[in-house]
């Protein structure tokens, strides 16, 4: 079975291995007429590039994207957009020791079980490098959403147990530290904590938070293809993610109905939201995180993804070989002590792909609007 | 866009409204030859039926399932299995006051935005009653999985802040209390807490935990259709779910690589697991929750779903009417102070549907096994 | 694998066996706000009902449809519409002789091969009776299309070698004869031919032609999901169909480029077609059958489906039993000497489902129109 | 909406324009362990390459394929296989005159209608050049099928009105003439006819026939996803195809039940077909073309695709400009007077992709075989 395509109307079909010839993605279903060039995509790829700080691997991947199809005279044509990033740094000898040994926390063992053998060079298809394709596709989704006034913003909410303080939250601050934390003080503490991790040859995890702003009311399908269900799948499809929350998430399970319900009220403004539902109804709080019954309610869509610690650590770990011998392994080479900072843009990309796909799906929900669309 | 079908190979297409003629589901892709009768399905439906205790609504729905197709002489034929539960108790006058007023925490507002109008009787399609179809379909998935030695078990992990204690965990205990908690002491505390909620006309949430046991190695697709990603979507597709965890979940984000990685070792046993990967490799812990790189690793698949408090409460809440008038609403009628106990079997059903679908998908991953299958 | 769902945005999931409890279909993705009641669907079902003439089986099926969900106060709600036709005439003893013998031209043998056993009562799932579900779903698609000024009309083009003469073509004439031929003279000849077939205990085939009128320019996806490709699948999915043509079809393979190409010209009219492409460009001929590059070109979409002779004949035929014994079989019971007249409405239904689905898909092809739709 | 992906389990996602940077395809779901290298694919691409004879365009495209992912140490890994053919000959000035004028028989007009503008260079995405991706993907499907003893062979059945004579049919003969006709005499007549077409600046069509041999019983899904329905879609998805037949096709509509039904008998042989259905039941004729009820019956699957004449002709034709001016156009440049010879391998590719996909789907139809697969 396939599994390498994401989305229904806007579809991203990804390919590529860590140490193969490259990574790529075919984005089908992008509407025609969107201005797009390689710089639009490169800007997103640069945010996930390694080698930006002492907390990310020194490996210089380059990650230069090329658009191979679907764009003509600076605009998308409505046909598939093929994006490709050729691999340049393929020092596969760094990874030789994992050919016959199963790295704890990695997919080596399950790939062997599923496929009978595997491309062992740097994790092959299961390497975090596959997220390059997600980010490239997500950059297109983001640009599309912006033409409709919708923005997607992710940032680091916590590193280990160090959380940002919403009292001192400043979104722009995320660009001032290498951890993409929108709170300068928390960022400093987190950096110190990461230094400690590196000294101990250990690694840690964290949480990325993501907000979609400007989504019209009515996006998401009731029952199985709820907006939050699709976002959950998008987030858990990212390699190291182990948990997902929308709105208050697990905290809601400890709350009360009288607190958790978001009341409705009329906004004082006369401004027309001008979308699927044109009125001035707003929620007085947003515990739900922007959805009701799986459908966007016009308020910010707020979600979180929990990342496990980087599995590659330089400490010795117990494991076995392909042939069933117990052994120990120390993962050599360049590895980030934390995945989170580089994953911020991946979260943004996956959220944007999901939001754009469901937004397009929502266009067929009402006969009156379809008749209007076709001039009848 | 559709959105009422779940699964790729094993597909459930659900329909029905709270106060319409009934609820049903068409299960397509179920392999031929599975013994199946209405009692198999009824047993699961009875577990989600209301009216079982003072914590669930007194409404007597009956919920008698009828198999309309796809079963012949006691076995599935491989063609679509249509299941139907006719509604019997349709006291719609209970719900008259919500015709023009948006209930906080419900999907009334977003349905109106998406579709222009809605079936306002008891929530219509967005009512929790739609889970009847999920449970009916899930019962078939569970029976199919059992023929392969795979079991799916869900139970209540917490009610509000009251969690089960794994020290006193006894699976069978869940059948001794109406909250389906596998810990007698926690159940008693939770019942007292719920009494308090009811007295205060308030409601609360909780967490359901689910374990899939016996899954062979190799189920789940790398990249987008990971086993955990599909499970996350399955769980978040349930109306009141706001969070999902696999394995250590959010706790993993606060852990260390040296702790969170599950080492491998050889099991002392000579027993052959006899599935996709036949050997004796086991993990010495299960922080990952049974998957590595989105593919099952042979250990228990452990997940959690966080449920928000029941949104229908008898307290006054601020809201607005369809016409934009601010008003207050008290939800009358029979409503559970907590969704969790009735949702346990829904979680089980959705986990089983996901597991069965991905298991079937995994059959095509290896050429050698395909050749063997076709006798070549 | 499933296979019982048709369509991507407008989706029909069908179920039911010839002699089971009933036949049904769940139509998901129908836009909200379409006026719909059972009479709309019954009118189509009545056209495929048997027992209307001496050329169709005397079996009185009734075929009374019930809408179980998705319609509220006379309009579709945007959620799944479940339709059901309970079987009333289940004289299964008529079919007892086929339990262990493979009927030539039927799917008995392949069902046994695929599933290991089969519901042998009247063909079970492979019976022509499954088309009831197609017609019910198609009736909804037709009604939806009419709200956009699009009509779908099928009729009998030929019975055996007797073709209609386009010189004496009168669409209304199809309602004056039981063969649905829009040419009175051809109909009379065809009726005489069918009398002869019946006398000889033989059966014959024919061709159904179908025209979609009023389709806007731009429907159908280039490359794999071409409008004509999807129509071809729709037609060949009908049990007895062995061939498909769009426009000049096989005749085009014997034509010349200079003849087959349809020139463009400006229509004299000032009327605005008012759809995806607003102008007055028309084709001066329609050899292509309404598509160019798989996309509708605004002219009539003209297709044909070739039906094989009814396989059930009262003559002796050589065959084998399940256990590998050679034997002879005469099919007893009531069988039409020709499938075509009852299939006319099935062709119409499948064409409408395809057209409606691709029309809805086409709404997302252009950014400017999407921005307009969302008021941006 | 997308539309550039073909298949469900074995999926090909194609991209590329005639005069863009290249053409490519991502093949997902190919089982792991299939020996594969670029030469396997190049051999198929060479068969569709232009410039092979005076009847195909002189344009030297090169068409050198590169495998970018999914193959490791000479075998497929089970993950997506990205194939790419860079364009080398991009003489776009040849096509300048079609920027503002709609070529009759081409998709210029419908692309403009659908997308608002188009890549006018050589037809862009709608160029026959997109079939490069189909052939590359199909080469993989063919190789996979061969490992199961299944072969797919296409050849030219007719050129204009000149048909092969099955009396003098010799499959190997197809390699001896540039028209791929398995009948030397017909090939000579066809060549003379094509010379005449070229002299008259006209073009002609033809029919390609394709046979799948060795397919086990049980492939294809009843109702909507019939094997023949999926093949019909596959064929009609090829740009110039206007008709499809399986088995006797349209001729069946003029036949009799007593003739058209294929009787069953026991084969004299003791040989076990060893597939889904292990026995010695065979059909005594093959009017059905290898399917019954949409499911393969073990006999050869025989289909035909009718191709229209090449639309690009050097004669003057009436048309209009983008701006609504009536004008005349003569298509300059290098164009084949017939599409058929180069399309033979495209038909083979599409048939193979369809057959492989449905074969893989068929693995989940029976519980007993699934239990056996998982060792239960």
Stretch D322-335: mean pLDDT: 86
Task: Give the whole-angstrom CA distance, residue B87 versus residue B60.
Answer: 10
Distance CA A236, CA D28 (A): 21
Amino acid B58: pLDDT:
54
Separation CA B219–CA B233 (nearest Å) = 16
Nearest-CA distance from D255 to chain B in Å? 31
Task: Give the pLDDT band (50/70/90) at residue B59.
Answer: low
To the nearest whole Å, the CA of C73 is away from the closest chain D CA by 32
The pLDDT > 90 percentage for chain B reads 82
Q: Which residues pair with C307 in a beta bridge?
A: C206, C241
**Higher-confidence position of D18 and D51:** D18
- Angle at which helix D38-48 crosses helix D340-361, to 10 degrees, equals 140
**Region B334-338: what's the mean pLDDT?**
85
Q: What is the 3-state secondary structure (H, E, C) of chain D?
A: CCCCEECCCCEEEEEECCCCCEEEEEEECCCECCECCHHHHHHHHHHHCCCCCCCCCCCCCCCCEEECCCEECCEECCCCEEEEEECCCCCHHHHHHHCCECCCCCCHHHHHHHHCCCCCHHHHHHCHHHHHHHHHHHHHHHHHHHCCCCEEEEEEEEECCEECCHHHCCHHHHHHCCCCCCCHHHHHHHHHHHHHHHHCCCCECEEEEEEEECCCCCCCCCHHHCHHHHHHHHHHCCCCEEEEEECCHHHHHHCEHHHHCCCEEECCCCCCCCCCCCCCEEECCCCCCCEECCEECCCCEEEEEEECCCCCCCCEEEEEECCCCEEEEECCCCCCCCCHHHHHHHHHHHHHHHHHHHHHHHHHCEHHHHHHHCCC
Q: What is the pLDDT of residue A366?
A: 97
A6–B224: do the CB atoms touch at under 8 Å?
yes
Residue A278: pLDDT band (50, 70, 90) is very low
Q: For residue C222, what is the nearest residue in chain A, using CA coordinates?
A: A79
Mean pLDDT of D176-183: 95
Written as six digits, the tokens of C72 are 């509220």
Of the candidates D5, D29, D115, the beta carbon closest to that of A11 is on D5
d(CA D185, CA B290): 66
C-alpha distances in Å from residue A13, one per residue of A87, B230, C25, C186, D29: 18, 17, 32, 53, 12
Confidence of residue B85 (pLDDT cuts 50, 70, 90): very high
Count CB neighbours of C167 within 10 A: 6
Q: What is the pLDDT of residues A37-52, one digit of tens each?
A: 999 999 999 998 765 6
Boundaries of every domain in chain C: 5-373
Residues 6+ apart with CB under 8 A from C49: C61, C63, C342
Q: Is residue D31 annotated as involved in ligand binding? A: no
Tokens coding D303: 């289909």
Q: What is the pLDDT of residue C324?
A: 87
Closest listed residue to residue D318, CA positions, set C255, C266, C298, C292: C266
**Whole-angstrom distance, CA of residue D339 vs CA of residue C297:** 22
Q: Give pLDDT, residue D306.
A: 98
Which pTM value belongs to this model? Answer: 0.96
Give the residue numbers in A contacting D (CB under 8 Å), as ranges.
1-5, 8-11, 13-17, 20-24, 26, 28-29, 32-33, 66, 68-70, 72, 75, 77-82, 84, 114-119, 124-125
φ and ψ of B248, to 5 deg: -75, -15
Output the six-digit token pair for A335: 């590895």
Give the H/E segment covering residue C15: strand C11-16
Mean pLDDT of D116-141: 94
Segment A261-277 shows an average pLDDT of: 65
Q: How confident is the model at residue B160 (pLDDT cuts 50, 70, 90)?
A: very high
> Over pLDDT 70: what percentage of chain B?
91
pLDDT at D98: 77
How many other β-carbons are positioned within 10 Å of the β-carbon of residue B64? 12
Residue A275: closest C-alpha in chain B: B113
Examine the pLDDT at B95 and tell me if it is beyond 80: no
Which of D226, D253, D308 is the closest to C206 by Cβ?
A: D253
D293 known ligand binder: yes
With CB atoms and an 8 Å threshold, state whether C69 touches B15.
yes
The shortest CB-CB distance from D68 to any of A9, A10, A20 is to: A20
In this prediction, what percent of chain A has a pLDDT beyond 90? Answer: 82
Are B9 and D364 in contact (CB < 8 Å)?
A: yes
Q: Is the pLDDT reported for residue D15 higher than 70?
A: yes
Contact (CB, 8 A) for C258 and C252: no
User: What secondary structure, in 3-state letters, does chain A show?
Assistant: CCCCEECCCCEEEEEECCCCCEEEEEEECCCECCECCHHHHHHHHHHHCCCCCCCCCCCCCCCCEEECCCEECCEECCCCEEEEEECCCCCHHHHHHHCCECCCCCCHHHHHHHHCCCCCHHHHHHCHHHHHHHHHHHHHHHHHHHCCCCEEEEEEEEECCEECCHHHCCHHHHHHCCCCCCCHHHHHHHHHHHHHHHHCCCCECEEEEEEEECCCCCCCCCHHHCHHHHHHHHHHCCCCEEEEEECCHHHHHHCEHHHHCCCEEECCCCCCCCCCCCCCEEECCCCCCCEECCEECCCCEEEEEEECCCCCCCCEEEEEECCCCEEEEECCCCCCCCCHHHHHHHHHHHHHHHHHHHHHHHHHCEHHHHHHHCCC
Q: Give the residue on A whose Cα is nearest the Cα of D117.
A: A77
End-to-end CA separation in angstroms for chain A? 42
| Whether D26 and A26 lie within 8 Å, measured CB to CB | yes
Mean pLDDT of B140-150: 98
Q: Which of A251-255, A269-273, B334-338 has the lowest mean pLDDT?
A: A269-273
Which SS3 state, helix, strand or coil, does residue B189 take?
helix
Q: Give the pLDDT of residue D270.
A: 46
What's the pLDDT at B337?
Answer: 93
pLDDT score of B280: 80
Q: Is D161 annotated as a binding residue?
A: no
Which tokens is C353 given? 């489902």
- Given this model, what pLDDT does residue A284 score? 93
Position C50 confidence tier, pLDDT thresholds 50, 70, 90: low
The mean pLDDT value for B289-313 works out to: 97
pLDDT score recorded for residue D52: 64
Q: What whole-number distance in Å separates Cα of residue C153 and Cα of residue C161?
A: 22
Q: Calculate what percentage of chain C has a pLDDT beyond 90.
A: 82
Contact A68 D125 (CB under 8 A): no
**Of the given ranges (A113-127, C158-172, D3-17), which has the lowest mean pLDDT?**
A113-127
Is A310 annotated to bind a ligand? Reply is: yes
Bridge partner residues of B330 (DSSP): B316
A334 is in an annotated binding site: yes
pLDDT grade for C297, boundaries at 50, 70 and 90: very high
Average pLDDT, chain D: 92
Contact assignment for D317 to C110 by CB distance below 8 Å: no
Confidence bin at B51 (pLDDT 50/70/90): low
- What's the pLDDT band for D278 if we cut at 50, 70, 90? very low
pLDDT band at B56; cut points 50, 70, 90: low
Please judge whether B376 and D147 are an interchain contact, meaning their C-beta atoms are less than 8 angstroms apart.
yes
Query: Which stretches of chain B sit within 8 Å of chain D by CB?
Result: 8-9, 29, 31-34, 76, 78-79, 144, 147-149, 216, 222, 272, 274-276, 278, 360-361, 363-371, 373-376
The residue among C38 and B54 whose pLDDT is bigger is: C38
> Are C79 and B26 inside 8 Å of each other by CB?
no
Q: Is a pLDDT exceeding 70 seen at residue C82?
A: yes
What average pLDDT does the segment B150-158 reach? 98
- Distance to chain B for D204, nearest Cα, Å: 42
Query: Which residues in C lie closer than 8 A to residue B115 (C-beta atoms)?
Result: 32-33, 77-78
Complex-level ipTM? 0.95
Q: What is the DSSP letter of C82?
A: E
A346: closest CA among A149, A167, A133? A133
Cα-Cα end-to-end distance for chain D: 42
Q: For residue range A312-347, list pLDDT tens digits in order.
A: 999 999 999 988 899 999 988 777 899 999 999 999
For chain A, state the CA radius of gyration.
22
Average of per-residue pLDDT across A135-156? 98
- C126 has binding-site annotation: yes
Q: What is the pLDDT of residues B169-218, one digit of tens each?
A: 999 999 999 999 999 999 999 999 999 999 999 999 999 999 999 999 99
> Domain D5-373 in CATH: superfamily?
Chorismate synthase AroC (3.60.150.10)
Is the predicted pLDDT of residue D274 greater than 60, yes or no?
no
Q: What is the mean pLDDT of residues B81-87?
A: 96
pLDDT band for position A32 (cuts 50, 70, 90)? very high
Q: pLDDT at position C276, please?
A: 36
pLDDT at C241 over 60: yes
Of B276, B298, B282, nearest to A319 by C-alpha is B282
Q: List pLDDT tens digits, range A186-212.
A: 999 999 999 999 999 999 999 999 999
């Amino acid at each position: 079975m396939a599994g390498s395509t994401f989305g229904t109307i806007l579809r991203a079909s990804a390919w590529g291995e860590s140490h193969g010839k490259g990574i790529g993605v075919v984005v089908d279903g992008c509407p025609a007429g969107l201005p797009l060039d390689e710089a639009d995509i490169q800007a997103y790829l640069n945010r996930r590039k390694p080698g930006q700080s002492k907390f990310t691997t020194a490996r210089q991947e380059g990650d230069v994207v090329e658009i191979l199809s679907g764009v003509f005279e600076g605009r998308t044509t409505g046909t598939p957009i093929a994006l490709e990033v050729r691999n340049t740094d393929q020092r596969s000898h760094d990874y030789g020791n994992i050919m016959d040994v199963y790295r704890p926390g990695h997919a080596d063992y399950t790939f062997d079980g599923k496929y009978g053998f595997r491309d062992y060079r740097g994790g092959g298809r299961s390497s975090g490098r596959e997220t390059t394709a997600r980010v490239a596709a997500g950059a297109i989704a983001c640009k599309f959403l912006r033409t409709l006034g919708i923005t997607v913003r992710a940032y680091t909410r916590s590193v280990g147990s160090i959380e940002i303080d919403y009292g001192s939250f400043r979104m722009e601050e995320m660009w001032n530290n290498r951890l993409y934390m929108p709170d300068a003080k928390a960022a400093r503490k987190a950096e110190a904590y990461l230094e400690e991790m590196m000294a101990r040859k250990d690694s840690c995890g964290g949480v990325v938070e993501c907000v979609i702003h400007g989504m019209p009311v009515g996006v998401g399908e009731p029952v199985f293809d709820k907006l939050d269900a699709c976002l959950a799948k998008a987030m858990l499809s990212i390699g190291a993610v182990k948990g997902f929350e929308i709105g208050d998430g697990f905290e809601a399970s400890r709350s009360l109905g009288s607190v958790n319900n978001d009341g409705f009220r009329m906004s004082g403004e006369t401004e027309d939201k001008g979308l699927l539902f044109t009125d001035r109804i707003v929620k007085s709080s947003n515990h739900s995180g922007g959805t009701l019954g799986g459908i966007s309610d016009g308020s910010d869509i707020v979600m979180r993804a929990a990342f496990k610690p980087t599995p590659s650590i330089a400490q010795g770990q117990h494991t076995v070989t392909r042939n069933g011998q117990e052994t120990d392994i120390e993962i050599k080479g360049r590895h980030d002590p934390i995945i989170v900072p580089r994953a911020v843009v991946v979260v943004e990309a996956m959220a944007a792909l999901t939001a754009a796909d469901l937004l397009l799906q929502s266009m067929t929900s009402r006969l009156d609007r379809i008749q209007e669309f076709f001039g009848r």
